[in-house]
Amino acid sequence: MSDRAMTPTTRQISKVALASIVGSVIEHFDFLVRGIIASTVGGDVFFSLPGGEAVSAAISVYGLGFIRPVGADIFVNLADRWGRKEALVYALVLMGVSTLLIGLTPGYAKLGIIAPILLTLFRLAQGIRFGAEVRHHLDLGGGASRTKYRALCGASVGFAVPIALLLGFGSVIFVRLSPQAFVSGGWRVLFFVGFLAAIVGIFTRTRAEDYIGPLVMILGGGGAARDPRHARDQKRQS
């Protein structure tokens, strides 16, 4: 196969870069929104503790989102088996479901001790998903592009940070226009926004070709590296 045939087109690169940006936007949006909720209403809703202790407990659960190494190990292995695009789609499915479930979970007043347990489990699921995002959105953004565009395409993931900040702060400001409504349950709207963003991300990534799978990376000299799954299959057959 010629180098030209192995080189993705500009349209294909755009799809892959967009899929990378969307995933990073959702990640930063979640960390911003979860941090705000954990430090404001999360303690009172999910824990039956004095004020300061409740806030500390909520922030501790929020910190579970940093178990990225575990998620990275899980989804790297899934990517080797199924392909990076598939692994990233499943990661967004996990993110969307766990985010929606957090938004739907009743507080301590209704579920008792089950409420913080469910919150912890759902936050762990989010943290596992973050590990997939950190590694693979950079691969999708930078590895699957033409050599001269690789750095620019990889840096485009950084565009997601200000987009996520605008989306996150804008959503919080909008919901907090009525402080009483925010405390009584309006904060859950932020999780529904995150769920809708995950749906958009899933749609975007399912339409992005998995160029990293068959090509792995366009080499500096314009050649193509073999797919590790294909190489493994060949080794077994020999």
Q: How far apart are alpha carbons 211 and 202 in whole angstroms? A: 17
Residue-level pLDDT at 116: 93
In the three-class reduction of DSSP (H, G, I as helix; E, B as strand; rest coil), residue 12 is classed as: helix
> 11-211: CATH homologous superfamily?
MFS general substrate transporter like domains (1.20.1250.20)
Residue-level pLDDT at 227: 44
More confident residue, 31 or 114: 114
**pLDDT tier at 108, thresholds 50, 70, 90:** very high
Residue-level pLDDT at 122: 92
Q: How far apart are alpha carbons 39 and 203 in whole angstroms? A: 32
Residue-level pLDDT at 235: 47
Average pLDDT, whole number, for the chain?
75
More confident residue, 136 or 83: 83
**pLDDT tier at 201, thresholds 50, 70, 90:** confident
Q: How far apart are alpha carbons 154 and 158 in whole angstroms? A: 8
**pLDDT tier at 117, thresholds 50, 70, 90:** very high
Give the contacts of 89 (CB within 8 A, at least 6 positions apart). 202, 205, 206
Is the pLDDT score of 142 beyond 90?
no
Determine what percent of the chain is predicted with pLDDT higher than 90: 11
Q: Which CB contacts under 8 angstroms, 24+ apart, belong to 41-47?
A: 41/182, 41/183, 41/187, 44/183, 45/107, 45/108, 45/115, 46/105, 46/107, 46/108, 46/115, 46/116, 46/119, 47/108, 47/116
- Pull the structure tokens for residue 141: 């953004």
- CA torsion, ordered 198, 200, 195, 167, to nearest 10 deg: 90
More confident residue, 140 or 74: 74
Model pTM score? 0.75
Judge contact between 107 and 46, C-beta under 8 A: yes
- Pull the structure tokens for residue 173: 């400001």
More confident residue, 53 or 229: 53
**pLDDT tier at 31, thresholds 50, 70, 90:** confident
Residue-level pLDDT at 119: 92
